[in-house]
Amino acid sequence: MPSHHSASPQSEDLEKNENRKLLDERFKPTSDDDACFKLWNVYISQAHEYDKTLLEGWKKDMDGMLLFSALYSATLTALIIESYKKLQLDPADLTTSLLTTISFQLASISNGTTTAFEPPDMSFKPMASSLICNMLWFLSLALALTCSLLATFVQQWTRDFLHKTTMRPSPVVQARVLAFSYFGLRRFGMHTFVDVIPILLHISLFLFFAGLVGFLLPVNLPLTILMACVLFIFVLVYSALTVLPLLSLDTPYRTPVSDLLWRLGNGFALRKHGLAGDLSLTEAMVEKSLHKSPDRDRQCMEFTMKSLNHDTELVPMFEAVSDALASPQASGVRLENFGIIAPLIQSPNLENNMISRIHNFISTSGSLAGDPQHRVRNMQLCLYTLNSFAWLVIRHGVENAGSDYSQYPIFWFQHDLLGLLYSSPSLPRDYLISTIAVLRTSRVQGFRRCIERMSKALSSPMANTERLREVRSIFTYLSRKDIDWTSEKFTYHFDQLGSTLQSACTPSMTEIQATALVQQVQQHLTELMDMGRWKAALISVLSQFLSEATGAGLVPVEMDMTFTLIHSSIPMLEVFDQSLDVEEDEAQGTYLLQSTSTDPQSISPGLFTLVFRLLFSTKRALHFTAALESRLVLYKYLYHCTADQKNLLIESDSACRLEECIFLDLSSDRAGDFARWCISALTVLYNGMGFMESTVSPRLLSFAKGIFRLIPKASINFTQDRWWFLVSTHSERILCKDIIEKLEYFSRGYDSHDISSFIALTMGDIHVLGQRLLPKTPVPECPLPCPPDVYQDWITEIRDYVFSMHLLITAKYTNIVTMDTHDILFGDWDNIRYSIGLYQGHIYGIVQLQFAKSVRELMSLHPWNQPKESSKSRLFHNIIWDLTKNWYWVTDMESAKILEEVIQRHKNDANFTGMVWYEQACLDRCTLVIREAGAVEEPPVSQ
């Protein structure tokens, strides 16, 4: 029989290939696995980085231990060769004993005496010191060799781990192998195994030193004592290095025993360091390092600044600081990083003070060679960093209002820095404008903080002389040049305060004199603390900020956020609160609008909006000549601006200042040119507030009611304007549209509570509009209480009344389009056509007649012969004959005759191309009305 070992090599190779194929098929990823390709790639990239660092650390540790163990074992072996001899009888000692006996016998023979032969003592007992020494050294050697073997194992295992995790190229397979191997590594405690190896080596070293003491004990006592001292010091140092990381987590020292002790006393150690969780010593060190330490952060920043020896090296620092402070939140800055950044800008050391370094950087930038674009980029970063610093200081001051600011400087940004920025023409303007504005704001905030400190010092419980001395010491931080805004009142009291404090420092001043001076100082400080003066300061900053932007024709960096930051920089002060008034000289900055361009192309919509808001920061926006000129600029801008620009201005005007301007000027007798621009702006505002929408917004309704009330009171300069009739009709249309919307809601059902609210809110508007449009027709009143059947009758009557006014407004729009020479289709025609088309009720005869006459005026112009794009043609072809499908509301015979006449004129025209929309339906309805009216008028035929 053939042996089972007789298989050929070819069959063995075939079997191996089959097995490999089966293995490959077994590891083939599914389509679901392939869908997780990127997900597993992310895991592999993170896990490989961690594993690589861990295993390389183990490998390096094992390399070091192998080298040390080899040298140590060689040294120890040499010593053991000498020491183990003391554990047995030395042959040299036996020879010496025999020679000694022989010498004694020879000496006895020479003396004529005889000595009996005594054999040498062959018994041997090693000394205790030798036993202890060899025991310790042999143990030490065994541990050292064991460490070498275990270190070799670890190196082999790490290589095997890396090999297994990279065998397969597929990310899915590789990730699963990696996870399987790593979690197995943790489950079997390989971390602990690796930590034990150096512990064994350290124990071996302790045994060596202890054995060395035993080895030297029989040799030389002083040398033994010396080595004992060395061993004691070694143990003491080792113990200190072991315990020190448990007491202070930032120590760089540790031994393998430290981790063991940490695990044994984990709970106590974690509580001592204010930590929680099951953390290893290394994890605890990392966790503790993440706890914020302002002092450590300050030292880091100081080191960084000292390391940047050349100003050109500061550019990356600029970008880093800006990123550290920028925040997407409403505050715009990360106040949490104040403790890190503050040391950079308040350090008295110019080398560490970043503001000083920026000052020097800007000063020398003009003389530096290089790429101009690169230089501009550097200047942008420079200014943006200053901007970020100012944001940080301002927001910190706002958030910590009322706190003790004595630890911070009065002025973070010195006056000469502003002078440098003003005098540097090469700086990018969009960044420069915002930077100067926030720096000035910070200085204003610092100035006020200084005044607050003086006020607090004056109210302290010290003696008057001490209080005056304290106030004067604070006052020395300020000077007249720090008041860079216009305010005669503020400047006067500041000068008087300085004079009073100067006279308060005489040595001979009595307590009575000090009391009088304290009262004077208190009076001046009260005036300086007045919110109106600080409102004037912020108005000055805002005005210069916007003036620089409009003059340069650009949008400053972060314009809206900067504007908000400035006017909110002083807590409890609302710049746009008109009840807080300012002096006339202080209000000059609010009239910036009068010198602003009305061309929307030359000024951004956002910038114009901010200039407009500034105008209304005081009450003077409506009552002074400069304010009148500003409003004229506003009206011209509204007339020329685009729809988006107009909408932005309206949306940003939450206080309805635009309406205030219109109301004021309509109530006044303005010149003809001013009246024309005012009416144009009014029409633009109607459109911008949603005049063409299907519903009336509360703001548009309120505005229209105000205009409606002012129409009878308007001066002749307004009423003679060609657009005045259009404005009046627009106002009537808005009120009527709102009434119809509410009426449709209340006509859907009966509810006594809804009826009362409707009458209270809407009937007043119906009365007011009816007195203007149908003065001779009484308004149907709703009897209260109102039963359901009576309610339905009243609803029908009031609908007829309201829709009659609605059709009358439609007739007005038709007349406006007919008489207009600018070829504009005025009117809210889409909504008009929709509402009338759904109406099936009765229209008053007088209104039908007005409508018919307006159509006749339009048809007299033969709109069917005009260009299709013209307003008359569009009104004729697309709107008038599409108002309703059946024209049931045409019931008046005179109106029907007029409509029939104009339709026949259209049919008989030489260019007649057919009826338009429901023109034929209107003709049929008019013919029916006329025929029915004629039948009623004919006398009955006698039999």
Dist. CA 423–CA 414, nearest whole Å: 15
Dist. CA 74–CA 85, nearest whole Å: 18
Question: Across 172-181, 511-520, 933-942, which has the greatest mean pLDDT?
Answer: 511-520
| Mean pLDDT calculated for residue range 273-283 | 73
Reply yes or no on whether the pLDDT at 7 is more than 50: no
889: nearest Cα among 934, 855, 860, 921: 921
Q: What is the mean pLDDT of the chain?
A: 81
What pLDDT is stored for residue 1 in this prediction? 38
Tokens at residue 31, please? 């389509």
What CA–CA distances, in Å, run from 36 to 89, 495, 907? 76, 76, 75
pLDDT tens readout for residues 323-366: 888 887 777 888 888 888 888 888 888 888 888 888 888 888 65
Whether the Cβ atoms of residue 69 and residue 201 lie closer than 8 Å to each other: yes
Reply yes or no on whether the pLDDT at 68 is more than 80: no
Q: In the beta sheet, which residues pair with residue 326? A: 333
Q: Which range, of 226-235, 338-347, 562-571, 750-759, averages the lowest pLDDT? A: 750-759
pLDDT tens readout for residues 598-651: 888 888 899 999 999 999 898 887 777 777 888 889 999 999 988 888 999 999
What pLDDT is stored for residue 325 in this prediction? 84
pLDDT tens readout for residues 432-475: 999 999 999 999 999 999 999 999 988 888 888 888 888 999 99
What pLDDT is stored for residue 941 in this prediction? 44
- Is the Cα dihedral 548, 549, 552, 553 positive or negative? negative
Tokens at residue 16, please? 């191996």
pLDDT tens readout for residues 484-527: 899 999 999 999 999 998 887 677 777 788 888 889 999 999 99
What pLDDT is stored for residue 80 in this prediction? 66
What pLDDT is stored for residue 5 in this prediction? 43
Whether the Cβ atoms of residue 725 and residue 684 lie closer than 8 Å to each other: no
- Is the Cα dihedral 222, 223, 228, 232 positive or negative? positive
3-state SS of 528-565 is HHCHHHHHHHHHHHHHHHHHHHHHHCCCCCCHHHHHHH
